[in-house]
């Protein structure tokens, strides 16, 4: 696959133009970005009364959101204009696929055709949630921007020997920034610290922990003192059995297109025989969750496959999709650390209802970066992934989302 630099720039700008069209068309293919913007209007407005008043409003209304994003947007709107903020968010959002491409190049180095990696990075442009966040200036894309920069420095830290200390602290710094925008990203701190412990000497590692605590102090103060989380915390009723099955269906949605080729199905058959024990345990876990769940039709949320199940009124389809998801995940994922990442991502959303927007396009990025997969590596190296199918799959998803909403 030959795409020279000029063609890559041209293709990239075509995708950027599509984002401009989305702004002009006021696209809300996520189905909730515009409503989120309306519902959070008071969050922005209360910061006009001062920083303390804005924070106070978050506390008295028991918001689980971080106030930082709303404060920043309010200041930008007041100092410049909402149009300036929109242009800035367009630039930030447009940079995410580019940085993702850089991350992929560092991870796979020269072993994978960079043109394939470039095309894969562009799939983010097809995410309805990414596009809607850009149009309506919601928290998602700014948090994703900081997270992808954090991944960049993390992989520089892992793959290269120079400036290890600086790269590691920069990866933690941008992860902290991502967490200040959307606190769920803080769950990846566990993973980053684990690898820091393995790669750094004890003295350097201790300094990194100390600096991390310093960076986290404002959040600790807000959530444990100002918010009085210990005394006034309202526990959300969560059925983890339901959410686990829904989570598996969401994971399946993003992994499925990478397996839709005859050669990849052959690999599935081979790996299926090699990982029978863990597959059997996974099947038992799914069955256990299914029979203990009290899943009922979600009026909202759940994702594409859940909406399909609701339309067909066929709850048993959720069990089948969960089993297929487990098969693909077990074959895709190489090690326990990668399974832990997926588990951490799952528990980072202890809500009554899971929305697909929570995981898109984060799960796509994670599967191509933090998750270790011989299947993915070999498929990319031997060009077994049919990118036409992958692009068509996500393009149909985007078009369908626009029509549906």
Tokens of 398: 């985007």
Average pLDDT over residues 31-42: 88
Average pLDDT (12-23) is: 96
CA 140 – CA 131 distance, rounded (Å): 10
Query: What mean pLDDT do residues 259-284 have?
Result: 69
Structure tokens at 12: 């990239």
Angle at 219 between CA 214 and CA 220, to 5 degrees: 75
pLDDT for 220: 65
Tokens of 296: 């009922």
pTM equals: 0.91
pLDDT score of 271: 63
Q: Is a pLDDT exceeding 80 seen at residue 214?
A: yes
How many C-alpha atoms does 106 have within 13 Å on its Cβ side?
21
Query: Model confidence over 60-91: pLDDT tens digits?
Result: 777 777 889 999 999 999 999 999 999 999 99
Of 32 and 101, the structure prediction assigns the larger pLDDT to 101
Average pLDDT, rounded, for the chain: 85
**HSE on the CB side for 92, CA within 13 Å?**
23
Phi, psi angle pair for 144, to nearest 5°: -65, -40
Distance CA 170, CA 367 (A): 22
**Maximum average pLDDT range among 139-148, 273-282, 318-327, 342-351:** 139-148
- Sort 240 into a burial class: Cβ within 10 Å, 0-12 / 13-18 / 19+: middle
CA 119 to chain centre: 19
Residue 227: is its pLDDT beyond 50? Answer: no
User: What is the spatial distance between Cα 336 and Cα 333, in angstroms, rounded to a whole number?
Assistant: 8
Q: What are the distances in angstroms from CA 94 to CA 12, 91, 133?
A: 9, 5, 12
- What pLDDT band is residue 116 in, cutting at 50, 70 and 90? very high
Q: Which of 299, 398, 365 is nearest to 28 (CA)?
A: 398
Say if residue 231's pLDDT is above 50.
no
Residue from 282, 291, 288, 284 nearest 326 by CA? 282
* Residue whose entry in the numeric block shows the structure tokens 């300036």: 84
Residue-wise pLDDT for 188-211, tens only, equals: 888 888 888 888 888 888 888 888
User: pLDDT per residue over 46-68, tens digit each?
Assistant: 888 888 888 888 777 777 778 89
């Amino acid at each position: 696959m030959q795409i020279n630099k000029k063609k890559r720039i041209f293709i990239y700008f075509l995708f950027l133009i599509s984002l401009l069209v989305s702004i002009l068309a006021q696209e809300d293919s996520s189905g909730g970005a515009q409503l989120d913007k309306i519902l959070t209007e008071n969050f922005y407005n209360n910061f006009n009364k001062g920083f303390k008043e804005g924070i106070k409003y978050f506390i008295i209304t028991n918001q689980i959101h971080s106030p930082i994003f709303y404060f920043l947007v309010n200041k930008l709107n007041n100092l410049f204009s909402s149009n300036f903020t929109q242009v800035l968010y367009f630039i930030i959002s447009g940079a995410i696929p580019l940085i993702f491409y850089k991350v992929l190049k560092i991870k796979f180095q020269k072993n994978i055709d960079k043109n394939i990696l470039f095309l894969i990075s562009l799939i983010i442009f097809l995410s309805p949630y990414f596009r809607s966040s850009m149009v309506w200036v919601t928290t998602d894309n700014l948090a994703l921007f900081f997270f992808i920069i954090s991944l960049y420095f993390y992989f520089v830290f892992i793959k290269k020997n120079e400036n290890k200390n600086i790269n590691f602290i920069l990866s933690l710094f941008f992860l902290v920034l991502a967490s200040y925008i959307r606190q769920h990203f803080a769950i990846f701190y566990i993973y980053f610290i684990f690898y820091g412990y393995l790669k750094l000497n004890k003295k350097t590692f201790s300094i990194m922990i100390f600096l991390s605590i310093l960076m986290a102090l404002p959040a600790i103060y807000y959530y444990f003192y100002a918010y009085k989380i210990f005394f006034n915390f309202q526990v959300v009723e969560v059925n983890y059995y339901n959410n686990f099955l829904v989570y598996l269906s969401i994971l399946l949605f993003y992994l499925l297109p990478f397996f839709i080729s005859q050669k990849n199905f052959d690999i599935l058959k081979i790996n299926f025989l090699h990982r029978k024990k863990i597959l059997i345990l996974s099947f038992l876990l799914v069955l256990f969750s299914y029979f203990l769940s009290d899943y009922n039709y979600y009026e909202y949320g759940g994702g594409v496959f859940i909406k399909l199940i609701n339309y067909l009124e066929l709850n048993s389809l959720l069990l089948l999709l969960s089993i297929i998801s487990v098969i693909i995940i077990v074959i895709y994922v190489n090690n326990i650390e990668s399974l832990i990442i997926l588990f951490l991502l799952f528990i980072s959303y202890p809500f009554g209802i899971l929305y697909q927007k929570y995981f898109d396009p984060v799960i796509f990025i994670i599967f191509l970066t933090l998750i270790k997969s011989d299947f993915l590596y070999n498929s990319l190296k031997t060009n077994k992934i049919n990118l036409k199918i992958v692009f068509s799959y996500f393009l149909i998803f985007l078009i369908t989302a626009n029509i549906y909403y």
